[in-house]
Amino acid sequence: MTSNPPPSTRSTTNDDRLSALEVSNHSLRRQVDGHKEELTAIREEDSKEERVVLASFHLQDDALQWYQWYEKTQPNVQWEEFTQALCVRFGPSDYEDFDEALAKVRQTGTVREYQSLFERLAARVQDWPQRALVGSYIGGLKEEIRSEVKLFRPTTLSSRH
């Protein structure tokens, strides 16, 4: 006994398929537009509060310790307040000359400590060519280390290791 397949409920003409696709696309477009509006509202309202928390994930060392203290003393801080406080605490002041500080920095402890200080200062200077940065870095090393590093003739800071 053979059974016949059930009749197809699918469209067989190209026009029917095109109409179904247009209806499907229109429905999908309405859903996407609805989600866009939802996401925009979330982004505008919640992100200001969440930005501080998200930014804190990227803080390290002194900045992280400062944030932990700041969070305790300033609960529910808004993004604008946070960024202003962060800049006041860690931003350059009118009295600091980072170019001069970078030119004068010398290794007194470990290479790692010197490198950390050098990188912190180098991040705050502008328009220093790579060659000048390399020269300043090498020049600030202790003599016994400096002469060994010079043998490698580094041309970038990343090749100084």
In the chain, domain spans? 16-90, 98-159
* pLDDT tens, residue by residue, 123-141: 888 899 999 999 999 999 9
pLDDT at residue number 110: 95
The pTM for the full model equals 0.46
Joined tokens for residue 90: 């860690």
Q: Are 149 and 160 in contact (CB under 8 A)?
A: yes
Separation of alpha carbons 137 and 132, rounded Å: 8
Joined tokens for residue 36: 């866009």
* pLDDT tens, residue by residue, 60-89: 888 889 999 988 888 888 888 888 888 888
CA angle 107, 123, 77 (to 5 degrees): 120
Q: Are 145 and 111 in contact (CB under 8 A)?
A: yes
Separation of alpha carbons 90 and 94, rounded Å: 12
Q: Quick one: three-class SS letters along the chain? A: CCCCCCCCCCCCCHHHHHHHHHHHHHHHHHHHHHHHHHHHHHHHHHHHHHHHHHHHCCCCHHHHHHHHHHHHHCCCCCHHHHHHHHHHHHCCCCCCCHHHHHHHCCCCCCHHHHHHHHHHHHCCCCCCCHHHHHHHHHHHCCHHHHHHHHHCCCCCHHHCC
Give the chain's mean pLDDT: 78
Separation of alpha carbons 135 and 139, rounded Å: 6
Mean pLDDT of 27-55: 62
pLDDT at 155 over 60: yes
